[in-house]
Homo-oligomer: A and B are copies of this chain.
Amino acid sequence: MIQSFYPPQRTLMGPGPSDVSPRVLAALSRPTIGHLDPQFITLMDEIKELLQYAFKTRNELTLPVSAPGSAGMEAVFTNLLEPGDKIIVCQNGVFGGRMKENVERCGATAVMVQDDWGKPVDPQKLEHALRANPDAMAVAFVHAETSTGVRSDARHLCALAHEFDCLVIVDAVTSLAGIELRVDDWGIDAIYSGTQKCLSCVPGLSPVSFSERAVQRISQRRQRVQSWFLDMNLIMDYWGGDARRSYHHTAPVNALYALHESLVMVQEEGLEAAWARHQHHHDALAAGFSAMGLGLVVDAQARLPQLNAVEIPAGIDEALVRRQLLQAWNLEIGAGLGSLAGKVWRVGLMGHAANQTNVLLCLSALGSTLQSMGAAVKPEAAIEAAQEIYAA
């Protein structure tokens, strides 16, 4: 007989899921109500309004897809693209590659603009690609590359794309509520995110938002969207303003309680304050890593505060370090992904997890673990450097 499962209490400082607030966990376990209950409709309206706040948009079509971020990505591509379309995809990590996968599975063509992993998307390369491909109908890029910890200049890239009359698709899985993001001001036409990063909610939902221009394109498609489950033409009838709320699929009721609560918390703190908090704790963490003698992969001006790719000291068994952190400290940090596998750890400071306790715990745990393996690091110096930031 299999028994009930009791998970350990971890501190989650990997690339996500991040630590979930106790308030969000409490909301998650409230009694389930029906997905057509009038009170649930109120909840949906509030979630929509809160997501508009978090995305800084007035887009009417703003809602959480009932599945993880990868499904949000697919929802965006599968609704906007039709077979034969051409789109420019900027890749500087794992998730640009996943965009290409999505584009091709829609029967469309992806013109790839490649940048090195750990570097932001180069606007000049994008401009060159836009000139060379006047038939491209959209540009897609990752705002915050979770695989490398790099931030691209979304405002600049959006402006370029619009110069060439392209729609702009943005992956904001790791950026939403962690760094500056302005959907309307920057002119983003379609955006998707995840709940398990800087929203500190449980994984499983993907907030998305579509501009008026994107909605028009979706409603005027020549072919039906290849996914029934993700077809926004149908989903709009359930999440739309219309009081009828025609049934599409059964909404993940309890997960939506949790998302609502996490968004209420963002609203309480204030979005700009949340961005600043991520930056502040990143500054302390980065000062600590530097004082310890650990390098960060990404140049300071393009670094994501919420995702820190740390270089692994020579001669260290990186998997053993992660295992020891998990076993002795109940601390999870992430491994490298793709071309950075085995070369970096990824240390997340996302949402609720971006706090002083976690920063000091990470520096102390990682420092002493590395020291015990003979690495020439200085954990005490790291703690001191971080505390100087906090004292300032």
| Residues of chain B contacted by A371 (CB below 8 angstroms) | none
Within 8 A of B (CB), among A236-269: 247-255, 257-258, 260-261, 263-264, 267-268
Cβ of A33 and Cβ of B5 under 8 Å apart?
no
Whose C-beta in chain B lies nearest to the C-beta of A34?
A: B332
| Residues of chain B contacted by A263 (CB below 8 angstroms) | 2
CA distance A32 to B50 in the complex (A): 23
* A31 contacts chain B at the CB level, 8 A cutoff: yes
* A163 contacts chain B at the CB level, 8 A cutoff: no
A250 with B35: in contact, given A67-B67, A67-B71 (CB under 8 Å)? no
CA distance A37 to B29 in the complex (A): 23
* Contact mask for chain A residues 99-125; partner B; CB cutoff 8 A; 1 contact, 0 none: 001101110000000000000000000
| Residues of chain B contacted by A225 (CB below 8 angstroms) | 105
Cβ of B33 and Cβ of A10 under 8 Å apart?
yes
* Contact mask for chain A residues 59-81; partner B; CB cutoff 8 A; 1 contact, 0 none: 00000001111110110001000
CA distance A139 to B34 in the complex (A): 32
Cβ of B250 and Cβ of A194 under 8 Å apart?
yes
Cβ of B49 and Cβ of A2 under 8 Å apart?
yes
Within 8 A of B (CB), among A205-255: 224-229, 247-255
Could you say which of B37, B102, B326 contacts A37, with CB atoms under 8 Å apart?
B326
CA distance A262 to B49 in the complex (A): 33
* Contact mask for chain A residues 174-201; partner B; CB cutoff 8 A; 1 contact, 0 none: 0000000000000000000010100000
Cβ of A1 and Cβ of B268 under 8 Å apart?
yes
Whose C-beta in chain B lies nearest to the C-beta of A322?
A: B36
Within 8 A of B (CB), among A13-62: 14, 16-17, 19-20, 23, 25-35, 37-40, 43, 46, 49-50
| Residues of chain B contacted by A14 (CB below 8 angstroms) | 34
Cβ of A253 and Cβ of B332 under 8 Å apart?
no
Cβ of B228 and Cβ of A227 under 8 Å apart?
no
CA distance A50 to B5 in the complex (A): 13
A7 with B39: in contact, given A50-B2, A68-B252 (CB under 8 Å)? yes
Could you say which of B8, B28, B74 contacts A39, with CB atoms under 8 Å apart?
B8
Count of chain A residues near B, Cβ 8 A: 82
A37 to chain B, nearest CB (A): 7
Whose C-beta in chain B lies nearest to the C-beta of A327?
A: B38
Could you say which of B37, B248, B257 contacts A332, with CB atoms under 8 Å apart?
B37
Cβ of A227 and Cβ of B105 under 8 Å apart?
yes
Cβ of A332 and Cβ of B228 under 8 Å apart?
no
Could you say which of B19, B50, B105, B332 contacts A226, with CB atoms under 8 Å apart?
B105
| Residues of chain B contacted by A228 (CB below 8 angstroms) | 70, 74, 98, 101-102, 105
Could you say which of B2, B49, B67, B203 contacts A229, with CB atoms under 8 Å apart?
B67
| Residues of chain B contacted by A19 (CB below 8 angstroms) | 32
Whose C-beta in chain B lies nearest to the C-beta of A98?
A: B228
Q: List 15 A-B contacts (CB under 8 A).
A: A2-B263, A4-B23, A7-B30, A20-B31, A25-B31, A34-B332, A38-B326, A66-B204, A67-B67, A67-B229, A73-B229, A98-B228, A202-B252, A202-B254, A204-B204
Q: Which residues of A contact B (CB under 8 A)?
A: 1-10, 12, 14, 16-17, 19-20, 23, 25-35, 37-40, 43, 46, 49-50, 66-71, 73-74, 78, 98, 101-102, 104-106, 194, 196, 202-204, 224-229, 247-255, 257-258, 260-261, 263-264, 267-268, 326, 332, 337
List 9 tightest A-B contacts by C-beta distance, closest first.
Answer: A204-B252, A29-B29, A67-B67, A70-B249, A202-B254, A25-B29, A203-B250, A20-B32, A71-B229
6 new A-B contacts at CB < 8 Å, known A3-B264, A8-B31, A33-B332: A2-B46, A8-B33, A17-B34, A25-B29, A68-B229, A101-B228
